[in-house]
């Protein structure tokens, strides 16, 4: 048992040092997720004319209108002794990932992993996210400020074949960004009038680290039918989750409207109606209804979250997988459309959302894997 600076705070939840969590489950994790995009920059009239003038004067606006999305994750896996991070930048022709891993050590307050770090400036309100320059062609220094209070989502609990495989809680928040992003030799200024996003903090149990012998878990159907859509409007946000099993039964759901002053309004059971591109499970548009309230959703820029980031596709780099004492830092770059065949799995898209004359933007995250009543299997794996 090793002490850390956290042990000097009156926050213990178990008769352990803060380095140790209350469960010995190898799959315990504690992580940050952020996304940053300019999807709200759907300019019209005077603003477009202004941008045209600025472009003629040398200012770069080629990433306007939702054509850039940055996703960042930082995680700790106390029972695996690992901490890691990734950043994924997506433009129309680029999917670039920088990732890093090291041994966790005793000090869980140290979020630095090679060139990555997260700084909490004001808890639940303002954070700073940094990726220092390296040979991998992506860096940033960004400050997040929430536009609604951080909101606790429902507990996520799934037991498969007697084993608890998901048992976690998560807070969600919409917000705006300021700072800068550098892609190769291109510098992009990030200002809160144009750049927004969503973030979450989740912790608990879910599959991480090196693969385990499956045992009886081979009987599971392998379905992951999922929608996660935090949407940001001018003075409020809507937080929506839908997860169903292979029979269409609800595993998890949420539908809450959160106002900037902290008021929360339950919207009722969300109903999700996606439209897929022919022969695929790629969503081209969707409708989400909450009673009489109907939101239309349009994905603007798909980001294949699982490619290169550690969410499970690469056998040699998964969240929580031991890479050595570290820090180990790697870069992965794909070009589109040449590498389009590699883009598979969970999609985190910049989304455009409309209801009752309001237009908002946010995250449209979805995956339709395995059997489900909404399709017969002819539209993809």
Q: pLDDT tens for residues 315-340? A: 999 999 999 998 999 999 999 999 99
Task: Say which residue the tokens 């690469």 belong to.
Answer: 314
- 27-211+221-369: what CATH class? mainly beta
- Point out which residues pair with 229 in neighbouring strands: 240
pLDDT of residue 63: 52
Distance CA 272, CA 294 (A): 10
pLDDT of residue 61: 43
Q: Give the DSSP per-residue string, 81-124.
A: TEEEEEEEEEETTEEEEEEEEEE--S-TT---BTTEEEEEEETT
- Point out which residues pair with 163 in neighbouring strands: 160
Q: pLDDT tens for residues 281-307? A: 999 999 999 999 999 999 999 999 999
pLDDT of residue 219: 86
Residue 171: count of CB within 10 angstroms of its CB: 15
Say which DSSP state 216 is in: G
What residue ranges of the chain have pLDDT lower than 70? 40-66, 376-381
For 378, phi and psi rounded to 5 degrees? Answer: -80, -10
Residue (of 143, 360, 124, 346) closest to 257 by Cα position: 360
pTM greater than the 0.85 cutoff: yes
């Amino acid at each position: 048992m090793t002490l850390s600076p956290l042990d000097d705070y009156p926050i213990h939840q178990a008769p352990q040092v803060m380095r140790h969590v209350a469960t010995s489950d190898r799959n315990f994790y504690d992580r940050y997720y952020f996304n940053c995009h300019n999807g709200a920059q759907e300019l019209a009239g005077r603003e477009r004319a202004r941008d045209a003038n600025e472009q003629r004067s040398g200012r770069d606006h080629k990433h306007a209108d939702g054509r850039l999305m940055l996703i960042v994750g930082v995680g700790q896996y106390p029972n695996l002794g690992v901490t890691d991070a990734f950043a994924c930048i997506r433009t129309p022709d680029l999917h670039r990932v920088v990732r890093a891993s090291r041994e966790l050590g005793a000090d869980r307050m140290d979020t630095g992993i090679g060139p990555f770090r997260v700084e909490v400036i004001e808890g639940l309100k303002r954070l700073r996210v940094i990726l220092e320059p390296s040979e991998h062609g992506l860096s940033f220094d960004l400050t997040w400020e929430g536009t609604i209070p951080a909101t606790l989502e429902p507990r996520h609990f799934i037991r498969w074949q007697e084993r608890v495989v998901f048992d976690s809680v998560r807070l969600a928040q919409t917000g705006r960004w300021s700072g800068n992003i550098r892609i190769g030799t291109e510098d992009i200024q990030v200002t809160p009038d144009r750049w927004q996003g969503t973030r979450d903090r989740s912790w608990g149990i879910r599959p991480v680290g090196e693969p385990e012998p499956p045992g009886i878990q081979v009987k599971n159907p392998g379905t992951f039918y999922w929608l996660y859509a935090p949407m940001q409007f001018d003075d409020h946000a809507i937080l929506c989750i839908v997860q169903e099993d292979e029979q269409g039964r609800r595993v998890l759901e949420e539908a809450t409207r959160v106002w900037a002053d902290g008021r929360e309004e339950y919207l009722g059971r969300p109903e999700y109606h996606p439209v897929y591109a022919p022969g695929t499970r790629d969503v081209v548009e969707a409708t989400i209804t909450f009673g009489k309230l109907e939101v239309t959703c349009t994905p603007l820029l798909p980001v294949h979250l699982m490619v290169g980031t550690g969410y499970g596709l690469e056998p040699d780099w998964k969240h929580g997988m031991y890479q050595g004492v570290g820090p180990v830092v790697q870069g992965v770059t794909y070009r589109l459309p040449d590498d389009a065949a590699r883009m598979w799995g969970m999609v985190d898209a910049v989304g455009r959302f409309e209801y009752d004359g309001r237009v908002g933007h946010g995250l449209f995250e979805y995956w339709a894997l395995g059997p489900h009543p909404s399709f017969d299997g002819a539209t993809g794996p």
